[in-house]
Structure 1
Amino acid sequence: MLATRDSLAPLRAQFTAPAGYLAACTAGLPTAGTRDAVAAEYSRRPDVDEYCRAVEATRAHFASLVGVATDRVAIGSQTSVQVSLIAASLPDGAEVLVPEHEFSSLVLPFVHAGRGVHVRPVPLADLAAEVTTATSLVAFSLVQSASGAVADADAICAAAARVGARTLCDATQAVGWMPVTAARFDALVCHAYKWLCAPRGVAFLTLSEDFARGLRPAHAGWYAGDDPWASCYGGDAPLAGCARRFDVSPAWQAFVGAEPALRAFAETDMTAVHAYVTALAASFRARLALPAPERASAIVTWPDAGGTDLARLSAAGITASGRNGSARVAFHVFNDLADVERAAAALGR
């Protein structure tokens, strides 16, 4: 772990982490670059040109992180809005296969799509096996918010390909601590305020060219135009010929803060981040005698229906969370073995 930690020194230097912050899966800590950029932004007059540069730089950083061309990335502010774009383009009566206990932002747009669209939840472990010729779309989080379980993306994508179903991956709980290749999926969504430590209000949608051709730009506004500044008035402006046609108007100041954070992550080897954070999580599981997951995860959960363990962590000054009847902690680059020890000791382990 030491060699990995040394290779992460530039990224780790971006954080002044309070001891015991184990909640990157809820909200990431701001980087030094983000704090400086936001402070500078509010000390001067608005600069729209600078806002646009920050948006495009942030888009490019995300594209680099997930291994796609920049023109395959649309920007937004919420994943649920981006998912609803896909829900609106499904054929009438489509079946959407999802994991049980999936995060609601990935499910509710399909539940309320109308037109006979049917959502079928199944256990995550059975997701690939449950894909049938009736399935139009498989929508799943690469890392489950409630449990930290990492989906078998290879099996899911292979099963979908066999029957011609599309895949939508929510990578909000993955990008920032593990390598992610967006091109594996027809569509990928990600909000950057968790593991990418950006301000809330910065989200991304990547689309394959083939899938994008069948989507209707239902949220099109001036920023979706081929030339946004020539698309501010009227209804005859041509839309962008790439994924930018699915852009929504950006939350400018949020992108100003996001740009240095995403740049720091894009300049870091995600394989090294993955090795470091999953080693911390494994150490914590060992202290609590929890079984190892099938696929290594930076999120650790265990049953805590009454919230007793979460209360113990909070009393010890540790920031954690409770989800779906379990206690939940997350290990990120700003954590270390002292955080493992502190949390385990708070639980009497």
Structure 2
Amino acid sequence: MTALASLFAGGRDYLAACTVGLPSRATVRAAHADLKAAASGRPDVAAATRAVEDARAAYARIVRSPIGEVAIASQTSVMVSLIAAAVPDGAEVLCPEGDFASLVAPFAHAGRGIRVREVALADLPHAMTTDTWLVAFSLVQSATGEVADAAGIAAAAARAGAFTLCDLTQAAGWLPVDATMFDATVCHAYKWLCCPRGVGFLTVGPALSPHLRPVQAGWYSGDDPWSSCYGTGGTLAPDARRFDVSPAWQAFVGAAPALEMFADADITELYAHATGLAARFRTGIGLAQPLRPSAIVTWPDATGEALAQLTAHGITASGRAGRARVAFHVFNDEADVDRALHALGWGAPVVLDSALDYAI
């Protein structure tokens, strides 16, 4: 991981990739160059458009999706709303209890008699019935870091005749994923994929795609966007691009190098690195190892004491749903784990050799 870590300018004591990822050196350079060109009166729209397509292609590689099934977006809830609009009146959508609101709320507020039923994440494969039209879940839970039984859920949905929607936001970038396991996936790439905020992706498989209407169609949804700028927009793209929204150009300029970096990385090695650090931390504070390893570690912290201890020692972490939360990514190492353990009173101080410490 040293080579990949060297592509970042920081990371020491930053245990919050599950909140927001850090920009790589290449992302910073690309964003600065784009802003400098714009400030000089020479915004490069053509280059920004190429960045959008480079980002789409790289993301398709990361999640193992055909590029024709990838649409660009800006927020998770917007992508989910597209699918919520396709749920039949009165149908049931099954979700895990406590999943992220951007995944669940669009269904809960869709009206038309749509019923959202929530069960424990572990119970999802057993809770589907013939009334379940869609099961929507995050592959990795934001509040707890728990990794879902993706294969079990997908198999159960197939038996029940239900569609699947998987949120990859807390997974893509450290966990090997295959978007083709599901009828649709969504991902906001500003966390583990270290993109600027405002870069998201939707994948739609062949079974669900005919049920979706491009209710958010705009000029970028056209088969030739630059010929779709006026009136009804003309002919929509024949593939998932018909679900595109107008891209945030500057965000995608920064996103393209980040996504290409992760697409080229050895995800198996990255997974082992991140989950290995998390396992070391769990052992250090006396937590049992989960059934499915995760790069996110959470534990009860109702008073916020643990988070305050970490913060007091200069460690960036987060708190969610009454739990303290730390995350380990490519730019972290064992020294980050041990420094966090010491901050919580579980280990000796870690003295870093400045000559050997991060060059990142």
Judge same fold: TM > 0.5, yes or no: yes
Q: Distance in 2 between matches of 1:21 and 1:13?
A: 15
1:17, 1:335 within 8 Å by CA — same for their partners in 2?
no
How far is the alpha carbon of 1:263 from its aligned partner? 0.6
Aligned match of 2:152: 155
Counterparts of 1:28-177 in structure 2, within 5 Å, are: 28-44=21-37, 45-177=42-174
2:96, 2:121 within 8 Å by CA — same for their partners in 1?
yes
Q: Find out whether 1:181 has 2:178 as its counterpart.
A: yes
Aligned match of 2:335: 338
Aligned match of 1:22: 15
How far is the alpha carbon of 1:18 from its aligned partner? 4.0
Q: Distance in 2 between matches of 1:184 and 1:61?
A: 19
Aligned match of 1:285: 282
How far is the alpha carbon of 1:299 from its aligned partner? 0.1
1:30, 1:199 within 8 Å by CA — same for their partners in 2?
yes
- The CA deviation string for residues 218-271 of structure 1, in whole angstroms up to 9 with x for no partner, is 000000001101100111501000000000000000000000000100000111
Q: Distance in 2 between matches of 1:195 and 1:271?
A: 15
How far is the alpha carbon of 1:105 from its aligned partner? 0.2
1:99, 1:121 within 8 Å by CA — same for their partners in 2?
yes
1:11, 1:265 within 8 Å by CA — same for their partners in 2?
no
- Structure 2, unmatched stretches of 5+, are 347-360
Aligned match of 2:224: 227
Q: Distance in 2 between matches of 1:13 and 1:94?
A: 49
Q: Distance in 1 between matches of 2:155 and 2:261?
A: 33
Q: Distance in 1 between matches of 2:252 and 2:182?
A: 25
2:219, 2:233 within 8 Å by CA — same for their partners in 1?
no
Amino acid at match of 1:84: S
How far is the alpha carbon of 1:326 from its aligned partner? 0.4
Q: Find out whether 1:10 has 2:3 as its counterpart.
A: yes
Amino acid at match of 1:292: Q
- The secondary structure found in structure 1 opposite 2:158 is helix
Amino acid at match of 1:14: L
Aligned match of 1:218: 215
| Identity across the alignment (%) | 63
Amino acid at match of 2:111: G
How far is the alpha carbon of 1:11 from its aligned partner? 1.9
**TM-score, with length taken from structure 1:** 0.97
Q: Distance in 2 between matches of 1:210 and 1:102?
A: 25
Moved over 3 A (4+): none
Aligned match of 1:273: 270
Count of residue pairs the alignment pairs up: 342
Q: Distance in 2 between matches of 1:175 and 1:240?
A: 26
2:94, 2:117 within 8 Å by CA — same for their partners in 1?
yes
How far is the alpha carbon of 1:163 from its aligned partner? 1.3
- The CA deviation string for residues 35-94 of structure 1, in whole angstroms up to 9 with x for no partner, is 000110111121111111000000000000011111110001001100000000110001
Aligned match of 1:321: 318
Q: Distance in 2 between matches of 1:316 and 1:131?
A: 46
Amino acid at match of 1:139: A
Q: Distance in 2 between matches of 1:281 and 1:253?
A: 33
